[in-house]
Amino acid sequence: MIRVALDAMGGDLGPRIAFEGALQVLSQHDDVEIVLYYSPSSSSDFELPPLCDRLSLVICRDVIDVDEEIVLSLFRRYESTLYKALKSLSVNSADVVVTLGNTGAMVALARHILGVIRPKLYPALIRELHSNPLRCLVDLGANVHCPPSMLEGFAELGAAYVEALSDEKPKVGLLNVGVESSKGSSVIRETDALLAAKSWPDYLGYAEGTELFHGEKNVIVCDGMVGNAVLKASEGLLSYLVGQLKAQGGDESLFETFYQTKHRHGACLVGVNGNLVKGHGRSDFQAMVGAIEYGIDIARVDLSTVVRERLDNEEFK
C-alpha cells in the first residue's frame, strides 16, 4: 500500500481541490492510502466532504502561507500542515509528501526534518520536460545562488533520477548562452570543467535553450533562478498559444492534450531522505490529480533510496 501525505492547504484554490483530487486518485488506485493535512481555521467557508476508506484527515492548527519568508521561527511551526506532513514521512508513516505550498518553506523544512542524502549535496527541484523519452530540468528554484560544486551535484541528482524512472541513459547538458567554450560566466565554465572530468554521468557539454525539449541531452542543468524562469516562460508561451488558438477559432486540444499527457505535473525535490512532490500553487483539479499520481509513481520505486544508493555506488568506485 502506497501512503500519501497530502498538504491540503497549499494551493491557490484552497483545500477543496486537494480533497477532490484525493478522492479521484483513490477511485483509480486500489493500493493507495491518502492522509490529508488540513486546517479548518484557514478555510472557514469550506465544508468537509465525507471521508471514505483509505482517506483520513489530520487536523492542524497552523498553515504556512505562500508569501512567508524563511526565518528561524519556521522550524518551530510544528502544528502547520506542511510540517506535520513532512514529519509523517520522517517517521515512516508515509511514503511520499505532496504539497502545492510555499516552495522555500518546503525545501527548508525538508532539509531540516528529513535531512540530506549526502553532506554538501544540495537538494534540487527536478521537473520532467517530457516523460517518454524522459528528459528533465534541474534546478527549478530550490537554490538560487549556485557555485560550480552545487551545479555538479545537480547533474548527479538528475542523472540518478533518469536512471531510476526510465531505461534511458542520462546525458547531461549544462544550460548556457551558447555551446562555444568561451561562452558563459566563470561559474558556468568552472562547472563545465568539473563535469567534463567525471566518468559519470555522461556529460555532453553546453546546452542552448533550443535543446530543452528535444535533442540528445536529457538532463539539463542550471541554477534555480534560470530554471524557474525557463519553466514559467514555457508555461506562459503555451498558455498564450492556446489562448490565441481559441480566439482564432482554432483547435487548441492538441496543445492541451500534449501538456496533460506527455509530462508529469509538478516537480520532485531530490536529494533529501524522502519522496517529495511540489505541485504548482495555481494547480487546478487535473493538475492536483497529476501531482498526487506523480507522488505515487516515485513512491513505488522509492526514488529517494534509489538515488542515494546510486550516488553511494558512484562515490565508492
Q: Give the pLDDT confidence of 59-111 residue by residue, as tens digits.
A: 999 999 988 999 999 999 999 999 999 999 999 999 999 999 999 999 999 99
pLDDT value at 223 more than 90 = yes
What lies within 8 Å, CB to CB, of 5 at 6+ separation is 35, 37, 85, 86, 88, 89, 93, 94, 96, 97, 98
Average per-residue pLDDT in the chain?
Answer: 91
pLDDT value for 116: 97
Backbone angles phi, psi at 271, to 5 degrees: 120, -5
pLDDT, residue 250, reads 67
Lowest mean pLDDT among 21-35, 38-52, 129-143, 175-189: 38-52
What is the arithmetic mean of pLDDT over 165-169? 96
Average pLDDT over residues 254-279: 79
Tell me, what's the pLDDT at 102? 94
Residue 261 has pLDDT above 80, yes or no: no
Under the banding of pLDDT at 50, 70 and 90, the label for residue 246 is confident
Place 251 in a pLDDT band, splitting at 50, 70 and 90: low
Task: Indicate whether 265 pLDDT > 90.
Answer: no
Alpha carbons 40 and 30: distance in angstroms, whole number = 28
